[in-house]
Amino acid sequence: MALKIYLAGPEVFLPEARAVIAEKKLLCSRYGFEPMAPGDLVKRDGLDPFTHGMKISAANEGLMMASDAVIANLTPFRGVSADVGTVYELGFMCALGRSVWAFSNEPRDYFDRVRDDFYQGELVPRPTGGMAGPDGLSVENHGMGDNLMLDGGILARGGAFVRRDVPRERLYSDLGGFEECLKLAAAALL
Amino acid sequence: MALKIYLAGPEVFLPEARAVIAEKKLLCSRYGFEPMAPGDLVKRDGLDPFTHGMKISAANEGLMMASDAVIANLTPFRGVSADVGTVYELGFMCALGRSVWAFSNEPRDYFDRVRDDFYQGELVPRPTGGMAGPDGLSVENHGMGDNLMLDGGILARGGAFVRRDVPRERLYSDLGGFEECLKLAAAALL
């Protein structure tokens, strides 16, 4: 029986969600894994929005528990960091001791993104060391792709956080990083 | 022996981090719990930034595994959603089956924040139902405080996601919501 990989990522929010997720599933199968895609099982069925949300959450947690590994798309989403739904799932799978890989279609370090995109370059040194925004909030600088809990959790489990530069219009749909994770997963697990 | 609560939140990034975290620990003790605060154990000790980051991540995961519950501060951080480090920790603790509570010092639903703060009110209906930003990315609307995986994970475990309005200058330092979570934890666990 093929090992199951949970496909975490903000692709669910794309206008072309179905096509991109179908492509991910196809790629996943080609590398010898069974794809487990969030939201697959949940119909609206006249439920109120809150109950519907609870049902999707429960379904996704069930899919994760049934999976052997996760590949998380950590491309920044509506801000400087990854989609929080995906990050919840990454933490969830790390705690379960599953194999984890991640990719981002944004190559820069978290520090550089926060400095340039969020604070427009206006960082100031902190009295206790390191740098902060004009709002006083410190900006961590560990040479990592996102908050250290994300990079740390992935790397501590033998996974990898693949970062690539892609054309802006393919920020959420480019699957080169995803395929690189599949190759790593195949080399590690098959 | 007192039950241990892991104190997840972006307070670590505040200029007054030490004071706010000390206040959280004091409150936690007053309600009969032993506080487990991230970063407590990790000295820089001449480590390079990356290795230092890995060490903090490992230390925080160790603290979580030793904890019985988590109270997560999900106040939006540098954007429309919660701090991703905190969200990783929330997912981690949910997967471990620990008790979870969360608070936010932002009372609005995720949908309202994204519509008003991120897209300046300019949402458009999607052909398949629901609303999207001008960039085409759909905006989930489940009457929840953040992405449905966060609210769903908390509520499915019998926890609560407490949302409160606080003066802007106390956005990250106001501990009223934290204390409300402590009361709920005490009622549930003691």
B62 belongs to a structural domain: yes
B128 belongs to a structural domain: no
Residue A3 C-alpha, separation from nearest chain B C-alpha, in angstroms: 20
Residue A31 C-alpha, separation from nearest chain B C-alpha, in angstroms: 27
What is the C-alpha separation between A156 and B58, in angstroms, rounded? 8
pLDDT score at B41: 64
B180 belongs to a structural domain: yes
As given in the structure block, the two tokens for residue A176 are 């080169």
Total domains present in chain A: 1
pLDDT, tens digit, 9 for 90 and up, residues B49-106: 999 999 999 999 999 999 999 999 999 999 999 999 999 999 999 999 999 999 999 9
- When CB atoms are compared, the residue of A91, A96, A144 closest to B50 is A144
Residue type present at position B4 = K
What is the C-alpha separation between B82 and B65, in angstroms, rounded? 22
B16 belongs to a structural domain: yes
A60 belongs to a structural domain: yes
Residues of A in contact with B60 (CB under 8 A): 149
B172 belongs to a structural domain: yes
Going by C-alpha positions, the residue among A22, A189, A124 that lies closest to residue B15 is A124
Residues of B in contact with A57 (CB under 8 A): 148-149, 151-153, 156
Residues of A in contact with B93 (CB under 8 A): 95
pLDDT, tens digit, 9 for 90 and up, residues A40-90: 667 888 899 999 999 999 999 999 999 999 999 999 999 999 999 999 999
Going by C-alpha positions, the residue among B88, B138, B31 that lies closest to residue A86 is B88
Nearest CA in chain A to B82: A84
User: What is the pTM (predicted TM-score) of this model?
Assistant: 0.98
Which pLDDT band holds residue B42 (cuts at 50, 70, 90)? confident
CATH number of B38's domain:
3.40.50.450
Residue A186 C-alpha, separation from nearest chain B C-alpha, in angstroms: 25
What is the C-alpha separation between B79 and A81, in angstroms, rounded? 9
pLDDT score at A40: 61
B123 belongs to a structural domain: no
Domain ranges, residue B92: 4-109+144-189
Residue whose token pair is 């004071």: B19
Query: Any alpha helices (H) in chain B, and if so which ranges?
Result: 17-30, 49-65, 84-95, 110-113, 148-156, 176-189
Cross-chain Cβ contact A148/B83 below 8 Å: no
Residues of B in contact with A172 (CB under 8 A): 137
A126 belongs to a structural domain: no
CB of B66 within 8 A of CB of B5? no
pLDDT, tens digit, 9 for 90 and up, residues B141-158: 999 999 999 999 999 999
